[in-house]
Amino acid sequence: MKDIAVQTKNFNLWYGDFQALFDINLSIKQGLITSMIGPSGCGKSTLLRSMNRIIDRLDYVRTTGEIHILQHDIFDPKVELVQLRKQVGMVFQRPNPLPLSIRENILFGHRIHAGGKKSTKNEEDEIVEKSLKTVLLWEKTKDRLGNSATNLSLEEQQKLCIARLLPLKPTVLLMDEPCSALDPKGTEAVEELIWTLRGEYTIIMVTHNMAQARRASDECIFMLMGELMEHSPTTDMFVTPKHEKTAAYIEGRYG
């Protein structure tokens, strides 16, 4: 199972008395882009946010079962949340740059996780340049790194939010509708960026956009009412879905 980045085993989740996820069993391959689709309220974002335990912030959440990231059980008492969230980065629906300069946004997480070790200016310069080049922002920002990140366009802000994760060297990137706040041009640009990250990172993306799931992912997961209905290569799901409920959703007959 060395090629599996994320695996869940009989994973259940409750918000108080309400059960949101039912016996989720899945295996997500390393280096691929996997889209999670399904109607609003079906559990996509809940499952995504369970993968780095950000859902733990809610004290009325209860879980059973297992989630493994690269063969390690994330619910093991020995697991440190700081290290888990360093390994499993999160990108949210709306860009959330810090009210700092572009440069300071990139270095913020790196400095926090440095463990007291201080990098030289040259080392930090290299980190900033490499991160911004990776997300295709370097040419646009190299002459204004001291400017506030909040002055960037929404597309550029979302790319920056991805870039600031990279110095932490994550293995998995979780993306919760990363293009929902963007216009079509910005959506296209971010999708192109996500595709360039494929291979180096395992990307799991929640989306309501069927066209986006079809063009920007290797595999798809279809969820309905807290259950995993189907997990297959994207082309197979959209051309020859295994389940009638999957076909009904893709064809717009509900949801």
Fold that domain 4-94+171-250 belongs to in CATH:
Rossmann fold (3.40.50)
Verdict on whether the full-model pTM lies above 0.75? yes
What is the number of other CB atoms lying within 10 angstroms of the CB of residue 199? Answer: 12
According to DSSP, the β-strands at 18-29 and 72-73 are unpaired
Positive or negative: CA dihedral 143, 148, 153, 159? positive
pLDDT for res 254: 64
Q: Domain boundaries in the chain?
A: 4-94+171-250
Spatial separation of the C-alpha atoms in residues 165 and 173, rounded to whole Å: 9
How do the pLDDT tens digits run along the chain, 255 residues long?
569 999 999 999 999 999 999 999 999 999 999 999 999 889 999 999 999 999 988 889 999 999 999 889 999 999 888 888 889 999 998 899 999 999 999 999 888 876 667 888 899 999 999 999 999 999 999 999 999 999 999 999 999 999 999 999 999 999 999 988 888 898 988 898 999 999 999 999 999 888 899 999 999 999 999 999 999 999 999 999 999 999 999 988 765
User: Per residue, what are the HEC states of 155-218?
Assistant: HHHHHHHHHCCHHHCCCEEEEECCCCCCCHHHHHHHHHHHHHHECCEEEEEECCCHHHHHHCCC
